[in-house]
Amino acid sequence: MDGRYLVLSDVHRREWVPAAARELMKEHSLDAVVLLGDIAHFGPPQFAEEFIKDLGAKCYAVPGNCDPLGTEAYIKSAGVSLHGVKMNIDGRTWGGLGGSNPSIFRTPFEMTEEEMARLLEPIMEEGMVLVLHNPAYGTFDSTFSGKHVGSTAVAEAVAKFKPCVVLSGHIHEDRGVVRKEGIWYMNPGAAKDRCAGMMELDDEVRLTLLDL
């Protein structure tokens, strides 16, 4: 159940990110990358495939709300998509959900809270690693105005099943690591702003914010 991962989110088609990510992985002896979406930034979706290949490491990813429909196919061609599925990774259950709940921006990949709840239910498991683009309501989901915009469906699923780790991005301005009610949460910040995170899993969970 051991693993050391670089956590990236909100790349928004910055072509310099993979080189910086490779250096960070070398510096911290990391095994793989967890990518939390908003890779291609409205297109073309093929950028996701090129980006993941350029990382030069195993990559587990979900698409973000700004990734065009069809991006997941390109994620799968170069890495492992966790959107709407769960699987065993390094001896631990992982599952994921991409996209976001509805926003005022009407971005390409948005779902109702009901749809998010329907997709989350079969993949949730106690003690798992949950990989999201959209945060849970109330945790790393505050915009500059102070408004909470996270998903109530995610918050309810987390409260019910109690994963050990919840990773999310989406809200660039609400970066951080926190432990609440025995659950670790991290928003690594936007990779486009030179933000990243590190997740270490063994007998314990360690989440660390890094500069990209």
CA dihedral 209, 148, 165, 20 (to 10 degrees): -30
Number of domains in the chain: 1
What mean pLDDT is predicted for residues 2-14?
Answer: 97
Q: Which domain holds residue 28?
A: 3-211
Answer whether 171's CB lies under 8 Å from 140's CB. Answer: yes
How many other β-carbons are positioned within 10 Å of the β-carbon of residue 105? 10
Token match 């991409």: residue? 98
Residue 5 has pLDDT above 80, yes or no: yes
Q: What is the number of residues in the chain?
A: 212
Average pLDDT, stretch 22-29?
A: 98
Helix axes 152-161, 113-120, angle to 10 degrees: 30
How confident is the prediction for the chain on average, in pLDDT? 97
- pLDDT at 133 (0 to 100): 98
Helices vs strands, H then E, count in the chain: 5, 12
Which one-letter amino acid corresponds to residue 55?
Answer: L
- pLDDT value of residue 2: 82
Count the alpha carbons within 13 Å of 16 in the hemisphere toward its beta carbon.
6
pLDDT in tens, 62-117: 999 999 999 999 999 999 999 999 999 999 999 999 999 999 899 999 999 999 99
Distance between CA atoms of residues 92 and 70, nearest Å: 28
CATH number of domain containing 18: 3.60.21.10
pLDDT digits (tens, 9 = 90+) for 125-146: 999 999 999 999 999 999 999 9
pLDDT average, residue stretch 201-211: 97
What is the rounded distance in angstroms from the CA atom of residue 183 to the CA atom of residue 164? 5
Q: Which residue's structure tokens are 């949730």?
A: 124
The identity of residue 31, as a single letter, is D
Task: Output the six-digit token pair for 79.
Answer: 């890495």
Residue whose token pair is 């990559």? 59
- If one compares 105 and 7, the residue with the highest pLDDT of the two is 7
Model confidence at 1, pLDDT cuts 50, 70, 90, reads: low
